[in-house]
Structure 1
Amino acid sequence: MKILVGSKNPVKIESVREAFSYYFDSLDVSGLEVDSKVSAQPINHETFTGAKNRADELFLRAKEDNLSIDYFVGIEGGIIEEHDQWFALGCICIRNNKGETSFGTSALFPLPSIIVTELLNGKELGHVIDEIANDENTKQKGGAIGYLTNGIINRKELYKQGIISALVTFLHPKLYSK
């Protein structure tokens, strides 16, 4: 089974590989950098749009290049406001080679106001966490969730649950048929 991920980020690629491996054998997972066509730090529903744009772009490129790919996965990290609290999450859009689409999300986790202020002023969450943690490229490691949970949950594990959630419509197509 061939799966294309809309990113070269190794955390995203490995989260897709691990999530799909629960259900499928002989996986060939690779990443291709595509534009999400949303802001660098997506806010609210823009996060879903970014994930969908990534999956759609992969689907179109595969069609144009006549590539045989089974699934196209767009992953977009973003923030969302609910009940006067800001949360971070990962949105996942999976498209199959028939063009059918499904969405899933990771768990939400609350962000402190000191981080939210920076994000609303145009900074990316990964860069803010890099500064706070005095580290580099945390988004290709444990991510914000890794820092905030003291390493108990990492970005890969967070994304895996969103990917598995997005897969449910493909695992049970009769239940989700229109």
Structure 2
Amino acid sequence: MKVLVGSQNPVKIEAVKEAFSKYFDNVEVIGMKVDSKVPDQPINEETFEGAKNRALELKRINEEKNIGAEFFVGIEAGIIKLYSKWFGFGVMCVADNKGKIGIGTSSHFELPGSIVKHLLNRVELGDVMDRITGDHNTKQKNGAIGFLTKNVIDRKNLYVHGLIVSLLPFINENLYFRT
């Protein structure tokens, strides 16, 4: 089974492979760079829009280029304000060839104000974390969640659970897609 993911980030590609392999055999994941059509640091609903835009753009490319993929995955990391606090999280949107869509989110984790102030100015969380850690390209490694949890949770594992719940409609079609 061929799955397209709207990113070339190895963390996202591996998370998709791990989640899909729990339910499907012979999963091949191909990462492709596609535009989310939202700011680089999405806030609130923009995060959901970005994930869906990525998935639907992959579906369009698949049809146009006859790639033969069955599923299209958009993953968008963003921040959201809940109960007067800012949280980091990821949105996962899975679409299939029939136009069906499943959406999931990762766990949400509270962000410190010292980080949030940069994010609200549209500086990407990965760039902020690079500055804090002195590392380079942390978003392709353990991410902010890895740093904040002292590597108890890494970015891939955070995303795997969100991807699994985004697959719920496809593994329970009789409940979600009744006609």
What's the TM-score once normalised by structure 1's chain length? 0.98
Correspondence 1:79-158 to 2 at 5 A? 79-158=79-158
Amino acid at match of 2:150: N
Identity of aligned residues (%): 56
Structure 1 unaligned residues grouped into runs of 5+? none
C-alpha distance in structure 1 between counterparts of 2:177 and 2:164, whole Å? 18
Amino acid at match of 2:34: V
C-alpha distance in structure 2 between counterparts of 1:150 and 1:139, whole Å? 15
1:98 Cα offset (Å): 1.0
Deviation sequence 1:115-147 (CA, Å, 0-9, x none): 000111121100001111111100000000000
Amino acid at match of 1:49: E
C-alpha distance in structure 2 between counterparts of 1:175 and 1:15, whole Å? 25
> Matched residue of 1:34: which SS?
coil
Amino acid at match of 2:126: G
C-alpha distance in structure 2 between counterparts of 1:134 and 1:106, whole Å? 26
Deviation sequence 1:3-27 (CA, Å, 0-9, x none): 0000000000000000111111111
C-alpha distance in structure 2 between counterparts of 1:176 and 1:151, whole Å? 36
What's the TM-score once normalised by structure 2's chain length? 0.98
What RMSD over aligned residues (CA atoms) do the two structures have, in Å?
A: 0.7
1:51 Cα offset (Å): 0.2
Which residue does the alignment assign to 1:37?
37
> Matched residue of 2:167: which SS?
helix
For these two proteins, the number of residue pairs brought into alignment is 178
Structure 2 unaligned residues grouped into runs of 5+? none
